[in-house]
Amino acid sequence: MTWSPWIGEWALGGYALLLGLKVAAAHLRISQDSKRAPHGGSRGSVTVLQPILGGDSTLEECLLTNLMDAGAEVSFVWLLDEKDATGQDAAMGALERAAGADPSLRSRVRMIRYAEPPNDVNPKSFKLAQGLPLADSEFVAVLDDDTTIDAAHVARALQALEEADLYTGLPAYRGGRGIGSRLIVGFVNASSAVTYLPAALAGPAVTLNGMFYVTRTRTLRALGGFGAITSKLCDDLAMARLYQRSGHVIHQGWTTQILRTDGLGVRAYWKKMHRWFVFMSVLVRTSTFPQRVALGTVLSLGPPLLWVGVVGATMEFAVTETLAATLVLRHLALGTLLKRASEGRARVPVFASVAAELLLPLHALHALLVPRIQWRSRRMRVHRDGTFHTAGRTERAH
């Protein structure tokens, strides 16, 4: 069969059309939601439950930033592992630095240490379940230890909860050294807005992003709290389903919370992406047929079309020109969207984002063939319904 340049041309045209529709839908969602964006402070007390694990060089800075910027009505419960001396040192260092600038900040933090959870119990949900009784505020939030928020993020979340039961944020990374870190930044910053926002425009949220979400404390407790989802490895999806089954409304926010990553190599990048794609496979398998079709279109169609265009460009100069034009338009469209959603605090890296997108089919295939992940010090096999069992442990946490 002779390769026709029209194959590459049509593939790139389809890629550009799909991307354009997703970007337009994301902008429409932002325009709809931003009309209700608050300009003042938060309207209620918030307890932030934050599971912490040492090892990331940015950990202390992230904890310090949150404590300084989240607002006067926000308190923190830092959930630490008993054996994690590195995480404890980072938490103590952040607290001492914050208290040195403002002594009153010390009273807004409680640090709790826990033993390792039993096998076949989600480590993150395990700590959150024990931390929830300490929340004596009207609202409770979950915040990953590599994620930063400020008072404006909290205020937007609380305003959204006037009409919804759970608010979930939008991730964007600020990266540093290491090819793995750059690829993670490229993947998340190029895909988060065009994944979550069009889905929020189309209908009820399919899942949520666990790096930052907020709900009423009484609502979460009435649903059984985090103890209701400890058997599920994909805690983001499990929490979304817990709320949806009870008829509660999830609001997908459009402003980004900044995550930080630094110093990841290729191996660490591959492990993280494998874990995310195994989680994504559970989402697809446990969704309804219409949801699978939508997810397949939004998440899966773009990279193969781009690959066909790349292959075509190696065979025909005309396709090379089309590919170059497509990538320029891609960067402008995604960069403008993320600049709006992050209010100028994050960007889409040119080469890393393209490389990350081209690698997505490999990650999807790997997740399909190998439903086992390495999470912290545990090796886990993930079942189709999101439950799991612990297959073994390593000496070091990852």
- Reported as a single tens digit per residue, the pLDDT across 59-69 is 999 999 999 99
For the chain, the domain total comes to 1
- Reported as a single tens digit per residue, the pLDDT across 110-126 is 999 998 888 888 889 99
| pLDDT for residue 1 | 46
Q: Report yes or no: 140 and 75 within 8 Å, Cβ to Cβ.
A: no
Closest residue by Cα to residue 263 from 343, 183, 158:
183
Domain hosting 341: range is 5-393
State the alpha helices, DSSP H only, in 203-316. 217-222, 235-245, 266-285, 289-295, 302-313
Residue 398 lies in a domain: no
Q: Which residues face 372 on adjacent strands? A: 381
Number of Cβ atoms within 10 Å of the Cβ of 107: 9
Order of strands, sheet of 147-148, starting from the edge strand that comes earlier in the sequence: 109-114, 74-81, 46-51, 139-143, 212-216, 166-175, 250-261, 147-148
Residue 87 lies in a domain: yes
- Reported as a single tens digit per residue, the pLDDT across 188-228 is 999 999 999 998 888 788 889 889 999 999 999 999 999 99
Residue 65 lies in a domain: yes
Task: State the CATH number of the domain containing residue 356.
Answer: 3.90.550.10
Residue 261 lies in a domain: yes
- Reported as a single tens digit per residue, the pLDDT across 274-287 is 999 999 888 888 88
Give me the phi and psi of 346, to 5 degrees please: -140, 160
Tokens of 165: 């039961």
Residue 237 lies in a domain: yes
| pLDDT for residue 398 | 38
Low-confidence ranges of the chain (pLDDT < 70): 1-3, 5, 36-42, 376, 392-398
Residue 385 lies in a domain: yes
Closest residue by Cα to residue 64 from 106, 17, 1:
106
| Distance in Å from the first CA to the final CA of the chain | 47
Give me the phi and psi of 107, to 5 degrees please: -75, -10
Residue 326 lies in a domain: yes
Q: Which residues face 81 on adjacent strands? A: 114
Helix (H, G, I), strand (E, B) or coil at 154: helix
